[in-house]
Amino acid sequence: MALSAAEVLAGLAEIVTDETGIATDVIALDKSFTDDLDIDSISMMTIVVNAEDKFNVKIPDEEVKNLLTVGDAVNYITKAQG
Amino acid sequence: MFKKVVVTGIGATTPLGGDSKSTWENLLAGKSGISTLTQEWVTKHELPVTFAGQAKTPATEVLTLQEAKRLDPSSQFALIAAREAWADAGSPEVNPERLAVDYATGIGGVWTLLDAYDVLKERGPRRVLPMTVPMLMPNGPAAAIGMDISARAGVRTAVSACASGTEAIANAFNRIRNGEVDVVVAGGSEAAIHPLPIAAFAAMQALSKRNDAPEKASRPYDIDRDGFVMGEGGGALVLENEEHALARGAKIYAEVVGAAVTSDAYHITAPDPEGSAAARAMIGAIEQSGSSIYDVVHINAHATSTPVGDIAEYNALKRVFGDHLSKIAVSATKSSTGHLLGGAGAIEAIFTVLALHERTAPPTINLDNPDPAIELDVVTSPRELEGSNILAITNSFGFGGHNAVVAFRSTN
């Protein structure tokens, strides 16, 4: 059973908080991973791998660079659950 | 014109305590930091050695979760020790381009490397964390400290097995002495209480197997010593150009007056039984101090509690000090802390500095039956060190034939 976008956001926010310590309520759809949340490429790859595990999806490396905002990632994961 | 170098800050996290103060107090109280390991991997692998000197305060209790996740335990200990030392020095305002780090490790991020290999085997390459490389590299602890204090005059890592920590302090001393930098955070750490290093050190018959009495296992100079005991943790000292320290009114623990590094070129693990290169390291450090062997009142010996190592160091000491050796208070503090490998030289430098500053040589525990072949005045209960401008040295020797010695002089 696929999760809703809101559920994906909540799950992704947990992963980001766990990796970075950023408060979960700051992690909103319009936030940029690099500009707003100051997440570097190493943390981003850790978040991606943890998200793959949590949501049982594949996020190819070449796709990661297109995930500029939290919303981009939530959309990608929501669709990829298929 | 050489600069004078002083110690203005100390920090440590060891099997005896989570900071330098509690470590020193427990050392003076004759406590042991060695205990039985209760981790499941000890029985799972049927390790022949089931005890070690674990850090008294787990690093994860001190650092934030996010800091700890990005640092190998060796870097966690380094950062904790360095932060204490830096705060102890008064968190000085230093031009970052005159501020450096010389921080050692014997092995590096062994937990990270071996955990990552387990992940690779069990879950595939995609699950190997991207932080694996910066966490396993041996310069990781030095780099973590360098970023924490914004040191931009070079961050270096001496890697010379159990001599690493002392060699790092020697390197730091020379940089300040030569006028290249004003302040260096120096020391070393180790976090190798992992089944593989234990199995490997045990395979070479280097570890004590006194599993039924771990607190009694580290017994330098005792006739019944049967090997060293692994310990973990880190130590850090703030070394500073004396003029720089005086200008800011810093507290000064002691002066660093000499350092020397030599090599045996004898055997990859066994010490040269003649101890000639080890002796040259001691002589080099004392000569650089401008003092003589007769000014040395205290030695923090390497003394790991191995049958051959303690004798080899004794032979070297006899070469250097001759008859004066009987007048020197020798402390073998690994009896309490275990052997912190790359961190050993750092915490023992701190003990040496505190011995001068507090005029108290720390005790050697477990010396129940002194080896008659080793005629040293071993300190077995805290002993007052008298006099002014007194000298003390700390010795460290490592697999590979590394010898490193640093000499300190009292300033109070």
Q: Please write the tens of the pLDDT for every residue from B1-39.
A: 899 999 999 999 999 999 999 999 999 999 999 999 999
**B247, B275, B291 - which closes a domain:** B247
Q: Do the Cβ atoms of A21 and B66 come within 8 Å?
A: yes
Where are chain A's structural domains? 5-80
Residue tagged 């660093």 (tokens): B256
User: Does B223 lie in the same domain as B160?
Assistant: yes
Q: Do the Cβ atoms of B65 and A21 come within 8 Å?
A: yes
User: Does B106 lie in the same domain as B15?
Assistant: yes
Alpha carbon of A63: minimum distance to chain B alpha carbons (Å): 15
User: Does B338 lie in the same domain as B301?
Assistant: yes
Alpha carbon of B232: minimum distance to chain A alpha carbons (Å): 26
Task: Output the domain CATH number for residue B30.
Answer: 3.40.47.10
User: Does B168 lie in the same domain as B42?
Assistant: yes
Residues 6+ apart with CB under 8 A from B288: B257, B258, B259, B260, B407
- A contact residues 22-61, partner B, Cβ 8 Å cutoff: 41-42, 45-46, 49, 52-53
- A75/B contact by beta carbon, under 8 A: no
Task: Give catalytic status of residue A25 as yes or no.
Answer: no
Alpha carbon of B65: minimum distance to chain A alpha carbons (Å): 8
User: Does B198 lie in the same domain as B278?
Assistant: no
pLDDT (tens digit, 9 = 90+) per residue, B169-221? 999 999 999 999 999 999 999 999 999 999 999 999 999 999 999 999 999 99
Domain A5-80 CATH superfamily: ACP-like (1.10.1200.10)
* Amino acid at the residue B57: T
Q: What angle do CA B295, B384, B331 make, to 5 degrees?
A: 70
Predicted local distance difference test score (pLDDT) of residue B8: 98
User: Does B206 lie in the same domain as B62?
Assistant: yes
Which candidate from B65, B127, B134 shows the least CB-CB separation from A49?
B127
Q: Which domain holds residue B362?
A: 259-407
How many structural domains comprise chain B?
2
Q: What ipTM describes this predicted complex?
A: 0.81
User: Does B226 lie in the same domain as B317?
Assistant: no
pLDDT (tens digit, 9 = 90+) per residue, B35-71? 999 999 999 999 999 999 999 999 999 999 889 999 9
| Residues of chain B contacting residue A21, judged by C-beta atoms under 8 Å apart | 64-66
Q: Does pLDDT of B266 surpass 80?
A: yes
Determine which of A42, A56, A59 to mutate to test the interface with B (most B C-beta atoms within 10 Å). Answer: A42
pLDDT (tens digit, 9 = 90+) per residue, B112-147? 999 999 999 999 999 999 999 999 999 999 999 999
Rounded CA gap, B300 and B285, in Å?
14
Which candidate from B64, B69, B130 shows the least CB-CB separation from A45?
B130
Residue B254 tokens read as 């002691």
Q: What average pLDDT does range B273-294 have in this prediction?
A: 96
User: Does B288 lie in the same domain as B177?
Assistant: no
Does residue B252 fall inside a structural domain? no
User: Does B223 lie in the same domain as B144?
Assistant: yes
Q: Are A80 and A44 in contact (CB under 8 A)?
A: no
Task: Give catalytic status of residue B194 as yes or no.
Answer: no
Rounded CA gap, B5 and B171, in Å?
12
Residue tagged 């305060």 (tokens): B57
| Residues of chain B contacting residue A46, judged by C-beta atoms under 8 Å apart | 129-131
Predicted local distance difference test score (pLDDT) of residue A1: 67
Q: What average pLDDT does range B286-301 have in this prediction?
A: 97
Alpha carbon of B261: minimum distance to chain A alpha carbons (Å): 38
User: Does B357 lie in the same domain as B304?
Assistant: yes
| Residues of chain B contacting residue A41, judged by C-beta atoms under 8 Å apart | 130
Predicted local distance difference test score (pLDDT) of residue B66: 87
Tell me which of B339 and A2 has the higher pLDDT. B339
Does residue B412 fall inside a structural domain? no
**B196, B212, B247 - which closes a domain:** B247
Find the catalytic residue in B194, B244, B339, B402: B339
User: Does B266 lie in the same domain as B242?
Assistant: no
Rounded CA gap, B407 and B255, in Å?
9
User: Does B271 lie in the same domain as B243?
Assistant: no
Does residue B35 fall inside a structural domain? yes
Does residue B39 fall inside a structural domain? yes
Determine which of B64, B119, B120, B129 to mutate to test the interface with A (most A C-beta atoms within 10 Å). Answer: B129
Residue A20 tokens read as 């970075």
Which residue numbers of B have CB closer than 8 Å to A's CBs?
A: 64-66, 69, 126-127, 129-131, 134
| Residues of chain B contacting residue A20, judged by C-beta atoms under 8 Å apart | 66
**Chains A, B: CB contacts under 8 A, how many?**
20
pLDDT (tens digit, 9 = 90+) per residue, A29-80? 999 999 999 999 899 999 999 999 999 999 999 999 999 999 999 999 999 9
Q: Does pLDDT of B314 surpass 80?
A: yes
**B219, B247, B275 - which closes a domain:** B247
Residue B135 tokens read as 């966490």
Q: What average pLDDT does range B384-400 have in this prediction?
A: 97
Report which DSSP code applies to A4.
P
